[in-house]
Amino acid sequence: QVQLVESGGGLVQAGGSLRLSCAASGRTLSTYAMGWFRQATGKEREFVAAIRWSTGGTSYADSVKGRFTMSRDNAINTVYLQMNSLKVEDTAVYYCALERSMKLVPLSSMNAYDYWGQGTQVTVSS
């Protein structure tokens, strides 16, 4: 089993920055990738960013490209999401997710992931 714990959410003004963290524990040795998704009130959960564990290669949703950066620290099994130039429309609960082994689905799909965290609220005020 794998446990994921997100932190770093909060309230920030538009144009500000936040850094989210997601610490993975348990059986993480064979991690293939981790991702961040978000879900705004009344909307479906959507892809934000993903990182391949072995290479560090990243991918981003168009809506956050150039503003958000995902990174990882292999030594402590933690991923980060640095969010800059935040907009009101970035308000959502942010979830991290972990893919144990590569599946034939894109990392932008929720179906790629085996484990999910509980989420952390990010609120951007105008």
pLDDT in tens, the chain (126 residues): 899 999 999 999 999 999 999 999 988 778 899 999 999 999 999 999 999 999 999 999 999 999 999 999 989 999 999 999 999 999 999 999 999 988 889 999 999 999 999 999 999 999
Q: What are the φ and ψ backbone dihedral angles of 76, each rounded to 5 degrees?
A: -120, 15
Predicted pLDDT at 103: 87
Strands 46-52 and 58-60: antiparallel
Comparing C-alpha atoms, which of 16, 20, 29, 37 is closest to residue 113? 37
Q: Give the neighbor-by-neighbor strand order of the sheet with 2-7.
A: 2-7, 18-26, 78-83, 68-73
